[in-house]
Structure 1
């Protein structure tokens, strides 16, 4: 009976997760709307970046700083301080370095978002497959429980298997809910750092 209850919970969770917010993205498991890429105009009101695209990779200092600022383990206040220190030391090259730095952040954080979102969709597909398997095994368990004579060894083995699969399903569901916040966190980080860079350019 315990396995049946757990299976029912898992199937209910799966059904809730399977309802896509936007039919264009059927594998998207989050309640937050899927925005595939950050729009440059949404996070940058500074000068055009056309002349520095990809050039940031050729500057060792900028590349190293982009890597540090893009890492989620770097606290935002520390990242903002690093931006200010870097641009304060740039002297006559401040505007050019500011543009290079933001171009690098924009490219890097957009790529991070894409990786996270692709991962979420992969997990969403696995969850659907797992829910289907749990449904199948639940029906098989019901059949075994109602059989005459009843094979207790098989009933117990399938019950235990269902409990284990349901636990994995629920754990994965919790992780997905947590990871769904990451794209928004990346958006906020890019917006905050872009604002600091623009303020330092003025």
Structure 2
């Protein structure tokens, strides 16, 4: 009989982004920066996330920990040579070209994490939104997210998708008009 109990494991494929992290269930685990963009295999158990490259284990992290990122210092490049073109300064300069609200959102993304690199994904997401939507719309969406204190990529994307950035600040969509006319819909007058 084996000495250890059987441990169920799930296997997945992944490619680390420029921030040298792979995503598993909305958490991010670091890998050696030399593996950025390379196909990796993940072995996921109830307690650990193991990262394999060509059958060899290159990283192991506890699966559940504090925060959304699990980063090993050994995985970080010296001066981030592997992707030196992506730096906090570059993101901040890009955002400042769009407007002060976009710059503030990017600054928060980079400063509110243990390492600025953890904010790169959100900043790249904003960069993609700037390609899909007009720069003026992105700035207006960032202004709105700062007003509601939810300066996150998902909030900004939602505001742009729903067109809320095109409304004057403080004005919200009137959902009453969107309700269908139906006998079971009472309306505001019913409650007076």
> What range describes the TM-score normalised by the shorter chain of this pair?
under 0.3
Larger strand proportion, structure 1 or 2?
2
What is the TM-score with the length of structure 2 in the denominator? 0.23
Give 1 or 2 for the bigger CA radius of gyration.
Answer: 1
Larger helix proportion, structure 1 or 2?
1
**Which is bigger in relative contact order (C-alpha 8 A, separation at least 6)?**
1
What is the TM-score with the length of structure 1 in the denominator? 0.23
